[in-house]
Structure formats: structure tokens, C-alpha cells
Amino acid sequence: MSSSPSGFGNSPARPLGVTDLITERPPMAAARLGDNVAMTSVAIVTGASSGIGAATARRLAAEGFHVLVAARRAERLTELVAEITAAGGQATAVTCDITSDESVAGLAEAAAAAPGPVTLLVNNAGGARGLDPVESGSIADWQWMYDVNVLGTLRVTQALLPALEASGSGTIVVVSSTAGLTVYEGGGGYTAAKHAQTAIAGTLRLELCGRPLRVIEIDPGMVKTDEFGLVRFEGDAERAAAVYAGVPGPLVAEDVADCIAWCATRPEHVNIDRLVVRPRAQAAQHKVREPGLRAPQSRTKQHSEARGVSRVCEPRSREQRGQ
Ligand SMILES: NC(=O)c1ccc[n+]([C@@H]2O[C@H](COP(=O)([O-])OP(=O)(O)OC[C@H]3O[C@@H](n4cnc5c(N)ncnc54)[C@H](OP(=O)(O)O)[C@@H]3O)[C@@H](O)[C@H]2O)c1
């Protein structure tokens, strides 16, 4: 059985773009249940009011899911639902704060009332605050990052697991980060939180083995979204923009949505454990290709590297590294 919401065969998902949303109706979305009634599969996306979450919601709707879009900003969600509906898709807005037990219980209720089996949860809500060294990091920033990225993922996953399992084939996606795989100066709080999210995904996959559930971790590198940097730098647009300045081709939200949709629509026996996706210009967290810089002679390169500096790819300034 395919994990495509259409439930018809294992044809690979083709990459959809924004144009597809405008010009094409999504495929008929249906999941075969025990009683042979075809029903629309339901996907839940947290943090759907902006960036990667909004792009993922649009993409999953285009793939035929009925998408529950969850975040705190209700107005944004209403606009997104209108946009998806106008494009021929199906979506429902659920105002939800993933740091609140009560609010997440409301999300689970909305899922129970949705028009089909809940087969996909995308734990995307999260973010970074600050870029201070551990020595002077703000406890409040660390607390926020832990609450949203780690405990938010835990809370939502716990609340939705029964519905995902009851569907007969559930998929849990955790949007962590390359910051969940490595550390960088100034990123202590964020990398700690993302490492914890990565640990949740790995642990959950082990614990759920043998049940009709799979766990997929998505680790993006640098993604140019409107709000990630603004949240990190308390609304300082200049600092936020500097993160992407001069970087040729950072990822955009739709690139990550594409990865999520591809993983989630593989046949149900296929578990993509972890997908790491970076822009071509970013070989590592600290190594971003600057436009116009040519590869130096090997002697020079060795000499540069001995000093911890690469002329091929200048290390970004401290403020420009973390995703
Ligand atoms: N941008 C990057 O370079 C990058 C790279 C790797 C990984 N990531 C990860 O990808 C995810 C999305 O990032 P993004 O770039 O799309 O950032 P974004 O545009 O700032 O999106 C963050 C989303 O999380 C939601 N959110 C925050 N706190 C919440 C809460 N308490 N309850 C419910 N929702 C909450 C926000 O909605 P409301 O404010 O409306 O609640 C927003 O929709 C994050 O987990 C981030 O860590 C981003």
C-alpha cells in the first residue's frame, strides 16, 4: 500500500511547485479503511502560520491531504486555509500553542473531528532565540527554545500518537536541523534543543518499531524564511537579513516542504530515517561558499587550513552561521 494519501499504487511523488498549486487540482485524496470506505487522509502541520510550515501545508494539500494547519496566529492560518481552498485543496485552521497541554488537547480533538484518518504529523513549530555564548546565554531564551522545539514536539506527538496508530499507517515527521547534528559558537541553546529533538526522533523510532508507525527526521541547513531570523534577533531585520547576505541560493521553505512531502509519500514500508538538506553553497555549518571566490592553489589551501581559515569558502561571521 502506498503512503500517498491517494492510496492508489506506489507511483513516486512528482515534485510540485507553486504553479501546480495554482493550476492543478490535487489528486483525489483517499485512504482505504477496514470497511472499504475511501476517506481523505489527514495531515497535521505545526508552525503552519509561516515559513517551512506554511509551505509544507500548501504542498501536502496539493498532494491530496486534508491539512490541519496549527500555530498561535489564527489570522495567518485563516488566510492560509483560504489560499489552499482556492487552489482546490482542503485545510482546517486550528489555533494551537504547542507549549500548552490544554491547547494541544484541543488540537487532538480537532484531529478526531477531521474528515478522515490521521496519517501524518509534521512537528515543524520551533525556532531559535539569541546567539549568545553559553557563558552569557539568556536562561529565558534557552527555556523558550527547549519548550517549543523539544517539549512542544513531545507534547504534540504524545497527543496525536493514538490517532496516527489507529489510522493503520502513521508517519511522524520531526523538523530538526543541521544544528541537531553539530554545534557552533553562539548556538548553544538552539543546538542543544535541536540535538534533543533529534534524540526524540531516534528514540521514538526504536520504541515504535513493530507498530504501524514510522518516524522521519528532516534536518535542513540554511533556509531563507521570513521570520526565523527575526525571531532569533528579536525583530532586528538587519541582523536577520545579514544571515543570508551574499549566500548564493539558500534553501527556501518550498525546498524543505518538497523533502517532507517526498519522505511522507514513500510506500508505507519505507522509512527515511533522516534527510539532511543544505543549499549547495553550504558545505557545513561554518563553511559557506562566497560568490566570486575561486579555489586557491593547494599549497595556499594547506597553508590556509593550517591556520584554520579556508579561502575557498570563507567561514561566515559568527552571526551568519546558525540554522
Ligand atoms: N529557517 C531555517 O534556516 C531553518 C533551518 C533548519 C531548521 N529550521 C526549523 O524549521 C522549523 C520552521 O522554521 P521556519 O524557518 O519556517 O521559521 P518560522 O517562519 O519562524 O516558523 C516558526 C513557526 O513556529 C510557530 N510557533 C512558534 N512557537 C509556537 C508555539 N508555542 N505554538 C505553536 N506554534 C509555534 C510559529 O507560528 P506562531 O508564531 O503563529 O505560533 C511559526 O509558524 C523550526 O523548527 C526551525 O527550527 C529552520
Q: Could you write out the DSSP letters of every residue in 142-154?
A: HHHHIIIIIIHHH
Higher pLDDT, 313 or 282: 282
pLDDT score of 123: 99
Give yes or no for residue 132 CB within 6 A of ligand 1: no
- Run of H or E residues at 218: strand 213-220
Atom index in ligand 1 nearest the CA of residue 76 equals 40
Q: What are 100's three cell numbers?
A: 500548552
CATH topology for the 18-286 domain = Rossmann fold (3.40.50)
Mean pLDDT calculated for residue range 180-185: 96
Mutate to test the pocket of ligand 1, among 45, 58, 72, 194 (most ligand atoms within 8 A of CB): 72
Angstrom CA distances, 101 to 26, 72, 92, 107, stand at 34, 14, 20, 10
pLDDT tens digits, 194-205: 999 999 999 999
- Please work out whether the CB of residue 52 comes within 6 Å of at least one atom of ligand 1: yes
Total-model pTM: 0.87
Residue type, 84: I
Are the CB atoms for 117 and 166 separated by under 8 Å?
Answer: yes
Atom of ligand 1 lying closest to residue 220 CA: 6
Residues with a catalytic annotation lie at 190
Domain-wise residue ranges, the chain: 18-286
Residue 40 vs residue 323, higher pLDDT:
40
How many of the other CB atoms lie within 10 Å of CB of 115?
12
Which of 227, 251, 254, 274 best tests ligand 1's pocket when mutated (most atoms within 8 Å of CB)? 227
173 lines ligand 1 (CB under 6 A): no
**What is residue 285's predicted lDDT score, i.e. its pLDDT?**
87
The per-residue pLDDT for range 250-294, each reduced to its tens digit, is 999 999 999 999 999 999 999 999 999 999 999 998 899 866 555
Q: Find out whether the beta carbon of 73 lies less than 6 Å from any atom of ligand 1.
A: yes
| pLDDT, tens digit (0-9, with 9 covering 90-100), for 183-223 | 999 999 999 999 999 999 999 999 999 999 999 999 999 99
User: What's the mean pLDDT in 32-40?
Assistant: 55
Q: Decide: 187 in ligand 1 pocket, CB within 6 A.
A: no
